[in-house]
A = this chain, B = another copy of it.
Amino acid sequence: MKSEKDDRRVKYTKMVLKESFIKLLSHKDISQITIKEICEDADINRATFYAHYSDQYDLMRKIENELFENVSVYIEEYTRNEANLDRVEMVEKIFVYLKQNAQLCRLFLGERGDMEFQKRIMTFIYEKNIDELMNAEGVSKETAEYIYAFTITGCLGAIQKWLDDGMKKSPRFMSEMLVKLAGGLPEVFVK
């Protein structure tokens, strides 16, 4: 997953292929993007593309995995840090990250992105932040699982709206809102 051990030529090749793919992806759907086109834009021989990726979708998955890895490292940095952030502060940092990587996040977390990936990364983030997972009393295990599913995708929808709206509201605003919503959901059932 990491290209740490790649020599410089390989690093360069992968880098420009990814850049060209992302450039094309921001103009049209992945189904309309050809390998030929990516290679021409990147000025990389098509045979070289096949040495690294099997097709556009393989390339996309590799980029997804990198994004996941980067988010993971980013979160770890704040977690093992002396910073000792509370939950709202931690989620706020996530939104700062999304804003710093706006182009990529818009493409991969937006409506046209791969929802399987989106749920995967949202679940990861959620579990890093909410430890007392589903312990509200008076809620059955099955109901709790549905609330969980509701929350994961609900947060995703809010993030998508934020990205679509040009990230106008502050990370702090978004964080406080989502923490309140996600935390308040199980209580809706108890009362």
Contacts and interface: CB of A to CB of B under 8 A. Distances in A.
A157 to B, nearest CB: 3
A119 interface: yes
A73 interface: no
A31 B61 CA distance: 14
Contact of A145 (B57, B150, B156, B161): B161
A143 interface: yes
A146 B177 contact: yes
Nearest to A119: B111
A181 B189 CA distance: 8
Contact residue range for chain A? 35 or more
A116 interface: yes
Contacts of A177: 143, 146
Interface string A133-168: 000000000110111011111111110111000000
A44 interface: no
Given A161-B145, A188-B188, A150 B115 contact: no
Contacts of A158: 146, 149-150, 153
Contacts of A161: 145-146, 149
A37 interface: no
Interface of A: 30-31, 57, 111-113, 115-116, 119, 142-143, 145-147, 149-158, 160-162, 169, 174, 177-178, 180-181, 184-185, 187-189
20 contacts: A30-B31, A31-B31, A111-B115, A111-B119, A113-B115, A115-B115, A143-B177, A149-B157, A149-B158, A149-B161, A150-B154, A153-B158, A153-B160, A154-B154, A154-B157, A156-B157, A180-B188, A181-B185, A184-B184, A185-B185
